[in-house]
Every structure is written in structure tokens, then in C-alpha cells.
Structure 1
Amino acid sequence: MEIILVLFDTTKSSIEVAQNFVKYFNGAKLCTSKTQKGCEKYYYQLKYAMPYTDGNGTNAGVNINAPKIILSDGAILQIIQKTSCDFYEDSYEKEPNGDYKLDEDGNKIPVVLHRQYCAVIRLDTNGLKNPNQFGADAYGLYVKPDAIVPETWNAIGQESLKSILTGSGKLTYKNYSVGQKYDF
């Protein structure tokens, strides 16, 4: 437990945490930004585990501009450090497919989300190779003060990761095209 809080220190930036974390991986390379020489190719879009929209009906993916640790086998870890382990985020209510819920006047409905994790680790197990999709070859972990646990959102591949960790190995994802209108 203590090592989690030492490595994922909420007083440090994502870059500082990644710089400290990379030391534990022999032969790993650290990319702190897309503009760093030789790193642009590691800042690619990941598809969600299932079609999920940009809020307005178009299938989306996710680009994460966090520091990346490229392991010697090509796997990629992304480190997203938070400034607190207990925080709130402003957002909007969404439908299960990602579209915004609208009020009677057609406005997005604001919501405040309570988050309780110190950092996020996103991993792409085969790096640059396809499919680059959560639930297929990419997964997310929450770093909490006392544990590292799978992210609790199915769009980030929660079901697949739980399946892998429990031994059944069933991957749960659906192939789709980013940029196309969501097909019900």
C-alpha cells in the first residue's frame, strides 16, 4: 500500500510520476509528449470497447496525451496522475451510448461526478499493433490509495480485464469505426 502512494504521489505531475515509474522497467522508453523526438507514433487513438459517441451521435475514440512508457516488448503504459485521490469533475449526463441527455429545452444536463482514485494507468498490451481498442488489447486501471483495480467503466474494457484476471479470458468488445454516425 505504501509504495502505491510513493509512486503515485498526488503532489507530482503525470510526467514526474512516469519518470519515477519507468525506472522499474528494463529497456523501457519514456515519452513525455507527442512532440518529443521519436514519440509521435505512440500518441494514437484508442477505440472504446463498444460504440460510444462524442455526445452528438458520432462514434468516438479517445486520445490520451499523457506520458507513455513504452516497454521493451512494445506494450505501452499511459500514466494519468491526479492532484487528489478524492475529487469532483464537472460533466454532463449521458445515455449509455455516449449521447448527451437533454432537458426539455434541448440543453445538456450538467452533473458533478465524484471520483475516488489517485491516478489512472491505461495499457495497450501490444502497443502500436491493431486493434488498439479497449476490451481487445487495451485496458484501464485505477490507482487508489490502497489498491490498483480495473477501471469501472465498460467502455474502457472493464469486462474483458475482469475476465482475464479471473481466468476465463473472454474478451468483450465490438468492432466499430470512429467518425461514423452511431448505429442503434
Structure 2
Amino acid sequence: MAPTVVAQNRPAKTLDIYVMDVEGGNSQLYVSPSGESVLIDTGNAGAAAVRDADRIMAAVRDAGLKQINHLITTHYHGDHIGGLLELAKRIPIQEFIDHGPNVQPALAIDPILEQYAVLNAKVKHRVVKPGDKVDVTGLDWRIVTSAGRVLSSPLPGAGSANPYCGGFKRHTVNPVSGQPVGN
């Protein structure tokens, strides 16, 4: 099996970051100095999925990529996972990364998640927790929050605890709307 870098079509020596406006959220594409890619979120569902996949694919082409090595879905809201199915039709995705089961069922998202389960059964799928690493050659990529949990101690080499975050308490209910806070 050839290394991932060979599959990429660019002479990479820098960490390149692309931010795509997917209207309602952002999608970010990171291309490491080794040529490996990490995509975070895929934009909206419905008619907007084509638009958002077009925007992501424009960045993918600019980066000279032939595949997405790691796709991280931060949470299962429509503006973060909605474009996943459209994007997966256009480019191979080697690994899906997420926080695990959905805790906020929604009629608009549930069908996407059903198809997502079919997609991620065909390739590597990983549920991450705070502190887990995403294997990207040349980068120390760590997950700092997942499934409502956060790191319990500073990252290696980060120094002392952040005094501004020391009293962090996770809300289970939105204090304004009274709606449950999930993913």
C-alpha cells in the first residue's frame, strides 16, 4: 500500500488552512506539510448541500487533493453534517471521526445519520474522546472536546491550567431556550 502522501498531488511544505463559508457554520480544510488532509464539518443539507460541497471541493482542488484523509464532524446539526452525503459522492474519504451517538434526534438529521452509518461502515470510523489524537504525519492533532466532555488537564507542553476555564461547567439545558444541550 502506498503512503498517503503519494496519493496527494501537491508539494506540501507548509500547514495550509482553507475556511469555506457554508452559511450557518464554517467548514475548514487543513492540509499538513506531509500532504495529509483533515476536513472539519461539511455544511448544510437539502438544496444547500450541493452549494456547500461545491465550495469544499473548490478548496480541495486548490489544495491538489485526491482524497480526504480524515473527516471530523463536530456535531450533528444540519449546518455541520448536512453536506456530508453530497461530498462523499465526489471524493473518497478515508476516515470518519465523530463524537458517537446522536443525543438530539431531529427529523431533518436522522435520515442523514442513517446514511452516514452506511458510509462509515465501509471505511475507518472512529468515535473520539477528549485527549485522543488524530494521526496526521508532522502534526500533534488532539481532540479537546467531544460528546459534551472536555480535557481534564492541560495538553502536554501547554504549561499550567487556564485560569479562565477552570470553573467550566457543562450546561445540559440551554438557559435561554430551555432546550436540551446535546452533542
Higher helix share: 2
Q: Same fold (TM over 0.5)?
A: no
Q: Say which structure is richer in strand.
A: 1
TM-score, normalised on structure 2?
0.23
Name the TM-score, length of structure 1 as normaliser: 0.23
Higher relative contact order (CA 8 A, sep 6+): 1
